[in-house]
Structure 1
Amino acid sequence: MRIAPEILDSPDDVGRAAADQIATSIAASAEAGRTFVLGCPTGRSPLSTYEQLARIVAERDLDLSRVVIALMDEYVEQIDGGYRAVDPSLAHSCVGYGERDILRRLNAGARPEHRIPEQNLWYPDPLAEDGAYDRRLEEAGGIDIFLLASGASDGHIALNPVGAPADTVTRVVALGDDTRRDNLDTFPTLRSLEEAPRFGVTVGIATIRELSRSVIMVVTGEHKQPTVRRLAAADAYEPEWPATVLTQCRFPRFLVDRSAAALLQTTL
């Protein structure tokens, strides 16, 4: 299924549109007394959504006490016999990002009794067996809204590399050089490709497709123009551009800013 992008003026407008949908769904879940699971990427693309959502939390006095923040991935390093997550204090740690830029940011605008409990920040464990995180998410009722972002150079989604099969679940993967180069732009503290992580634990393509009730892909910035063109043209999952899983998801929404959509202007 081909997904037509909604073109908005700026990254803030993209963030506000995504945040408004998320906030409305959180409020409905709170009123029904049920858990709301928000699937969250890290990095630059979703940051405006988290910023705008924090503003809406304060504006609407949202109750976040039943919200679960489910992170997509984390960078890992090899150790004898397996892998371990990187130190969360590192700038490129996804768990550290989740604590600083999602959990604390959203809780800052909420009343104490309405804040997300710290234990409701979930993330995949590189020591767990493949698919264990998927089972936890499924037992929670699935992901109400999965916020998605696409890699600029190779279309990776979460840390799924080029060629990721459609049936993959949460697992440890080797990261391609294009993904690692993207990390140098996202995390200036990584000064060279040699310093960029080589492995990560990530939700799979099937995790995103099968466990989400709805998804919102956010793409902003001039450097994402090829990404928008590729996603707008896709009508099925393409392993060579994993973010095209968007075409297979239930209730997808594709939000882009005008700068990122520039290559589409002559055809839309």
Structure 2
Amino acid sequence: METTLKKKSIDISYKPVGRFEETRFEKIHNIIFDNSREGSAIVAKEIADLIKQKQAEGKPCVLGLATGSSPIRVYEELVRMHNEEGLSFSNVTTFNLDEYLPMERENRQSYHYFMHEHLFNHIDIAPENVNIPDGTVTGDAIIEHCVAYEKKIKDAGGLDFQLLGIGRTGHVGFNEPGSHYNSATRVITLDHITRVDAAPAFLGIDNVPRKAITMGIATVMSAKRIVLLGWGQNKAEIINNTIEGEISSQVPATYLQEHKNCTFVLDTGAATELTRNKTPWLVDESCEWSEQLTAKAIVWLCGKTGKSILSLTDKDYNDNGMSGLLTQQDSYDLNIKMFNRLQHTITGWPGGKPNAEDTHRPERALPLKKRVIIFSPHPDDDVISMGGTFDRLVSQGHEVHVAYQTSGNIAVSDTEALKFAETANSIQPTPEAQKIIDSIKSKKEADFDPIEVRKLKGNIRRGESYAATRYFGLDDANVHFLDLPFYETGAIKKNDLSDADVAIMEDIIKKVKPHQIYAAGDLADPHGTHKVCLDAVFAAVEQLKDEPFMDECWLWLYRGAWHEWDINEIEMAVPMSPGQVLRKRLAIFCHQSQKDGVMFQGDDSREFWMRAEERNKDTAEHYKALGMADYAAIEAFVRYKFK
């Protein structure tokens, strides 16, 4: 049975896997799915149904299409429907939102290349029905090209359906902050944040074009139907601003509040900042107060009032939409329970404290010496995200293994690789070293590295990893480089997780038979390496769950360099002294290729060691503000329970 959801003039059928609960805070219809795959499949079905409806009516179907990571799974599902279900695109005309300027069509970073790679090369659409802004036009011809693009959309009958993503600036298409409601297709200067977000694909921000051609806001708003995709926690803040904020040219996506048939399709990560998810007690005071929600609310209330947990009063609860909690317990009991819960997360013994009563400790006391695997997606996530805990586990006598899931070669700059190659060649000239030198020097923009260069870059990351693990006193025999195949494409775009990847993960787990596994649980980018690496851990654990040793195995998740667990989520908090903070910093410094101008900086200009220290310091200060002891820094973990 399908569920029909209505808002304004909307009448769209969706499978009940999605959730929509309209609140007074929300101004745009939105549906939340457990993950991007489910949401993408539903959107692809709506597009397919529209195409088939138009075919039955003998009419063309005009689609406005987006690029970027958000729509990839939608296109994959449309291709699958074409191949397996006979979905035809013979009546479809498409208009893409935008294109970089200048940009050759054959460049792998062009949206022309993207659309053909992900969709057009795999379906039966007529080439003359594919329309993408031309990134090669120059001078006065640009204005003429933009005017002609608008006219072609109108001549086609207008857009029946417009697919959108959203940038962290709130742009749709490349309509950056300041874009006018009545804007049409035009040239625009890209915001710095937009260029930063695009930098990984271009191997550095210096290679990202500064301008683009984009459909205007008015062009987008003219579409009969609009669906915007939002995946991942890194989009949560801008999604909230767009859905719940005031209409403003500084957040162009807010113009969509005035569209009569617009839906945002989100995953749980992208929806975390919506009021109904972040503070549901402000939406409905009679909400169901689970233990997790109660903890979340009390931490929020402390931040709102500026009080520690034990200082909260009945009035604080009543004045902030939490009176429902007081019908179950008074504030004193609530405060004591939360204080104890948080206090019991703190431990200086991440592998368990020997000969200690462990009922209220995060980890078991036995066995005294644990076998541990730290899975690190890249060859530095281990020290950046849990360097203090790593150091503590080794020093406390546990058998620690580090498994680097990918080579990380794509993150080594050509300049760094050239330095190593020239140094090696100066010591002992060889044809192999010269070949690498010549290859790097002759490399053109967006060229793939040949295998020899990729191998050198991977070896650079390996050497840095050994330097860091040796600094912590770990034996080289306990350092494992898995080089999962999904990563080894030589490009930013990776392959999907395969059975071969999972088999490699299973092998290392079976070899070590760990009591503890640590893995990166940072899912800010649903298409990123961290997500695939975590999926590999989960898949391997699922395959091995019936093995006897897995009964004693606990899986702890840490976060990456960009986000930390919310305080109410944390189940193990490992404090660090100032000296331990310094040791962690020096271990991160061992990864010299990722220091001083790292290629994939993200939206934070600080170096990784600075981000890590500030994040750990902030966690400690948050604990202190809630009434806990005063520590220099804290690393945080959440335990994943096997099903």
Shorter-chain TM-score tier: 0.7 to 0.9
Q: C-alpha root-mean-square deviation of aligned residues, in Å?
A: 1.7
Report what 2:174 is aligned to: 159
Q: How does 1:96-111 map to 2 (within 5 A)?
A: 96-105=113-122, 107=123
Equivalent residues of 2:170, 2:238 under 8 A apart? yes
Task: Report whether the alignment pairs 1:203 with 2:220.
Answer: no
Task: Report whether the alignment pairs 1:32 with 2:57.
Answer: yes
Deviation at 1:250, TM superposition (A): 3.4
Equivalent residues of 1:173, 1:202 under 8 A apart? yes
Q: Which amino acid aligns with 1:240?
A: Q
Deviation at 1:198, TM superposition (A): 0.5
Deviation at 1:245, TM superposition (A): 2.6
Equivalent residues of 1:29, 1:35 under 8 A apart? yes
Q: 1:141 to 1:223 in 2, by over 3 A?
A: same
Taking structure 1 as the reference length, the TM-score comes to 0.87
- Select the residue among 170, 176, 189 that pairs with 1:174: 189
What secondary structure does 1:141 align onto? coil
In structure 1, runs of 5+ residues without a counterpart are 78-85, 108-114
Task: Report whether the alignment pairs 1:50 with 2:78.
Answer: no
Report what 1:112 is aligned to: none
Report what 1:142 is aligned to: 158
Deviation at 1:64, TM superposition (A): 1.0
Q: How does 1:248-263 map to 2 (within 5 A)?
A: 248-263=258-273
Taking structure 2 as the reference length, the TM-score comes to 0.37
> Which structure has the larger Rg?
2
Report what 1:111 is aligned to: none
- d(CA) in 1 for partners of 2:76 and 2:253? 23
Deviation at 1:124, TM superposition (A): 2.4
Q: Which amino acid aligns with 1:95?
A: H
Q: 1:256 to 1:225 in 2, by over 3 A?
A: same
Report what 1:88 is aligned to: 105
Equivalent residues of 2:29, 2:262 under 8 A apart? no
Deviation at 1:53, TM superposition (A): 1.9
Report what 2:250 is aligned to: 240
Deviation at 1:87, TM superposition (A): 1.4
Q: 1:139 to 1:26 in 2, by over 3 A?
A: same
Report what 1:75 is aligned to: 100
Deviation at 1:235, TM superposition (A): 5.6
Name which structure has the greater RCO, CA cutoff 8 Å, separation 6+: 1
Q: Which amino acid aligns with 2:132?
A: Y
What secondary structure does 2:116 align onto? helix
- d(CA) in 1 for partners of 2:154 and 2:246? 27
Equivalent residues of 2:243, 2:257 under 8 A apart? no
Q: Which amino acid aligns with 1:181?
A: V
What secondary structure does 2:63 align onto? strand
Cα deviation 1:180-214 (Å, max 9, x = unaligned): 111114x1xx122211110111100011012x110
How many residues align? The count is 246
Equivalent residues of 2:100, 2:110 under 8 A apart? yes
Report what 1:220 is aligned to: 231
Structure with the larger strand share: 1
Q: Which amino acid aligns with 1:141?
A: G
- Select the residue among 109, 121, 124 that pairs with 2:130: 121
Q: Which amino acid aligns with 1:243?
A: A
In structure 2, runs of 5+ residues without a counterpart are 1-7, 9-26, 284-643
- d(CA) in 2 for partners of 1:40 and 1:223? 22
Question: Percent identity between the aligned chains?
Answer: 29
